[in-house]
């Protein structure tokens, strides 16, 4: 539970479910995608389903054929086809290994699912439990895994299809975005994914949280008045969040629905404040 002071007061009291509480001049909430603070401070805010999900998976490179490794190594590989696209890239091994032969190959595959029955069926896990946001490794129903791998064999280039089909425990997350109209509430503020929630197409989630933190620190350093500092923070970071949501929504629409993604289009470059920025 959060209790924030009237404008003429100077502190905020935060009460915890364990019975404890703290009092501070400023409370910053950075509690992520499913932010309790956002739900408390902006009870009407709801994420918007994009119309698609991100299938994910990883395979040790030692389990991939030489031809697949030759095609996918040392690159961030995209494949775009009607109403879908997939990214493949190498990542460190389970214990952080970066040596060739010990890494993992990772994929993120965006596929469309209609809201309602189709999405609900996908999000019903292997034990029959309805999930809302994601299915972790081992939870996806076998018939959906079989369908996903069959689709990969039919639609994806052979190297990428091999990676997908060799993934033992694929998992998935629903792609949402969420636009808010306020980040500051008295002596409290939202930061990172607790504020704006953007689709992953700009690869900017961590950058956004860091940028919010830097902007808040800068505002606090340059103003003697906390209210003035928070006003500056909200003004700059609302603009950053809005343009990120607009751009990632546009990328998702072009790739998943309009099917007019042109290879080499700079709009699709990663970046928080614009393509490549």
192 against 12, higher pLDDT: 192
Say yes or no to pLDDT of 2 above 80: no
pLDDT tens-digit map of 253-275: 999 999 998 878 888 899 999 99
What is the arithmetic mean of pLDDT over 43-66? 96
Backbone dihedral angles phi then psi of residue 231, each to the nearest 5 degrees: -65, -45
Closest CA to 42 of 163, 188, 246, 199: 188
Q: What topology is assigned to 50-176 in CATH?
A: D-Amino Acid Oxidase; Chain A, domain 2 (3.30.9)
* In the predicted structure, residue 8 carries a pLDDT above the cut 80: no
| 188 contacts 41 by C-beta, under 8 angstroms | yes
Residue 86 has what pLDDT?
96
Q: In the predicted model, is pLDDT for residue 104 greater than 60?
A: yes
Give the 3-state secondary structure of residue 3.
Answer: strand
Q: What is the pLDDT of residues 114-171, one digit of tens each?
A: 999 999 999 999 999 999 999 999 999 999 999 999 999 999 999 999 999 999 999 9
Rg (CA), the chain: 21
CATH superfamily, with its number, for domain 2-47+179-268: FAD/NAD(P)-binding domain (3.50.50.60)
Percent of the chain with pLDDT over 70: 97
**Domains of the chain by residue range:** 2-47+179-268, 50-176
| Mean pLDDT within 71-87 | 94
Helix (H) or strand (E) holding 109: strand 104-112
């Amino acid at each position: 539970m959060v209790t924030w002071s009237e404008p003429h007061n100077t502190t905020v009291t935060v009460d915890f479910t364990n019975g404890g509480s703290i009092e501070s001049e400023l409370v910053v909430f950075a509690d992520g995608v499913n932010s309790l603070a956002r739900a408390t401070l902006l009870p009407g805010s709801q994420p918007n389903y994009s119309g698609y999900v991100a299938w994910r998976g990883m395979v040790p490179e030692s389990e991939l054929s030489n031809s697949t490794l030759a095609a996918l190594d040392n690159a961030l590989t995209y494949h775009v086809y009607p109403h879908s696209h997939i990214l493949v890239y190498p990542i460190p091994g389970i214990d952080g290994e970066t040596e060739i032969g010990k890494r993992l190959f990772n994929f993120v595959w965006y596929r469309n699912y209609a809201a309602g029955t189709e999405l609900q069926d996908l999000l019903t896990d292997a034990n029959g439990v309805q999930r809302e946001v994601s299915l972790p490794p081992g939870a996806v129903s076998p018939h959906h895994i079989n369908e996903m791998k069959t689709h990969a064999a039919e639609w994806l280039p052979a190297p990428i299809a091999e990676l997908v089909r060799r993934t033992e425990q694929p998992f998935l997350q629903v792609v949402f975005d969420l636009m808010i109209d306020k980040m500051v509430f008295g002596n409290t503020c939202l930061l990172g994914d607790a504020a704006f929630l953007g689709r992953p197409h700009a690869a900017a989630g961590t950058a956004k949280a860091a940028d919010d933190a830097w902007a808040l620190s800068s505002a606090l350093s340059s103003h003697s008045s906390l209210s003035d500092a928070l006003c500056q923070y909200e003004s700059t970071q609302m603009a950053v969040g809005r343009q990120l949501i607009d751009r990632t929504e546009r990328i998702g629409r072009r790739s998943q629905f309009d099917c007019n993604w042109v290879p080499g289009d700079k709009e699709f470059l990663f970046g928080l404040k614009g393509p490549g920025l």
